[in-house]
Amino acid sequence: MKSISALLLGLLLMGTARGQSVVTLAQGYAAALSNDPLGRQRELVQQTGDLNVVNLDKNRRLPQVGVNGQATWQSEVTKLPIELPNISVPQLSKDQYKLTADVSYTLFDGQQTTLQKQVQRASTAVGLQQVAVDQNRLKDQVNAYFLNSLLTDENTRLTRNRLAELQNRIMKAEAGVKFGTVATVTVDVLNAEVLNAEQQLAQLAATRRGLRDQLAMLTGLTITDSTRLVVEEAQTTTENLSLNRPEQKLFESQRTLLDAQLRLMNNRLQPRLSAFAQGGAGRPALNFLNNDFRGFFIGGIRLSWNLSSAYTLRNDRTVLALNREQIGVQQKVFDRNLSLQLRQQQTEIDRIGTLLEKDREISDLRSKIQQAASVQLDNGTLAARDYASELNAESLALLNQKTHELQLLLAKIQYRTLTGN
């Protein structure tokens, strides 16, 4: 942990002190969520759910109004089978017309509207939690771009140090060539290594720019070459973490939805009581013996009780129970896979930690060997090619150490991400 802290401190000091912006890993998470198009999906799900609840409220509170009309022709009409002298018995027309305005208002719905709103709110919660599950994958992308950018920065720093050492050696070798104590081939070998280092720096610069551009596109933040990327100490803590995955909340919200649907299903057997009124005009009107166009009105209370819904109620309950069982199976599979992933990630943390212990020893030895080779090169007892090999070996050892330190950092961050923290 001390080496990781020293590495982070070194990264903080990179670049110029003025004009630098700082982006932390936590800020990267927040910005990626804010910049994600799925954020609009969350708003749409919430707005749709709210509007559906408002509609249910309106349908319950306001009367239902409808206008109906019909015109018919029938082959036979009702007539009185009597004939009276000097009395004309009216006869209905075979073409009949009716235009009505119907109004009904629910007096008692057995709490159907209340239960429908509960189902709608639970469905909205499921939709929102599904968006949260989809957005949680953004953390893995932020982790990859962030840590690879840090690794590229560290590789660039070590390559620049190697280049500076080579340039310093070239100056000494060129002085030796002038005095005839160093062969010209020594300068050529060192210049070739300089070209290799410069080529690596060009490749690293392109990679660094690409990673930072991708991170900027993902988060919507302004990330320039001088922007410092910082991983907070809290993001590397893996002890005593509780599981807080959005998938677990999704399973729970799905169960809540099934519970609401079951209550609504059981409510189907409740009777419904409503008041109604109908007014209109037609021929004939309510008095079917009158063949004139007349207005009419009728009102009252209507009781409806759909007992046929009991036919499938048992099977419908079984379907919901099976759906609940499916959710349980899915959660067990998820929990098992998550446990395997956490165990694998902990193994990775332990493995890299073991490598780091040897990395430090190897780096120390390589530094001593390089220093001895430097003295031998100055004394003319070591060829420039051999010195370059030792210098590259030292640089590789240091790079391996820093790479493993960043890999350990990434492994711990990934462990926290797997737990939902």
Q: Say how far apart CA 413 and CA 260 lie, in whole Å.
A: 38
Q: For residue 315, what pLDDT is reported?
A: 93
More confident of the two residues 155 and 172: 155
Q: Say how far apart CA 261 and CA 60 lie, in whole Å.
A: 19
Confidence band for 3, pLDDT divided at 50, 70 and 90: very low
pTM exceeds cut of 0.85:
no
Ranges of each domain in the chain: 2-13+23-71+94-419
Query: Do 150 and 229 contact (CB within 8 A), yes or no?
Result: yes
Mean residue pLDDT across the chain: 85
276, β-bridge pairs: 104, 300
Q: What is the pLDDT of residues 322-346, one digit of tens each?
A: 999 999 999 999 999 999 999 998 8
Q: What is the mean pLDDT of residues 396-419?
A: 85
What does the block give as tokens for 300?
A: 């009252």
Q: Say how far apart CA 354 and CA 201 lie, in whole Å.
A: 30
Confidence band for 234, pLDDT divided at 50, 70 and 90: low
25-35 and 138-178 helices, crossing angle to 10°? 130
Q: What is the mean pLDDT of residues 149-167?
A: 86
What does the block give as tokens for 6?
A: 């020293």
Q: Is the pLDDT of residue 21 over 50?
A: yes
Q: Say how far apart CA 273 and CA 111 lie, in whole Å.
A: 12
CATH number listed for the domain at residues 2-13+23-71+94-419: 1.20.1600.10
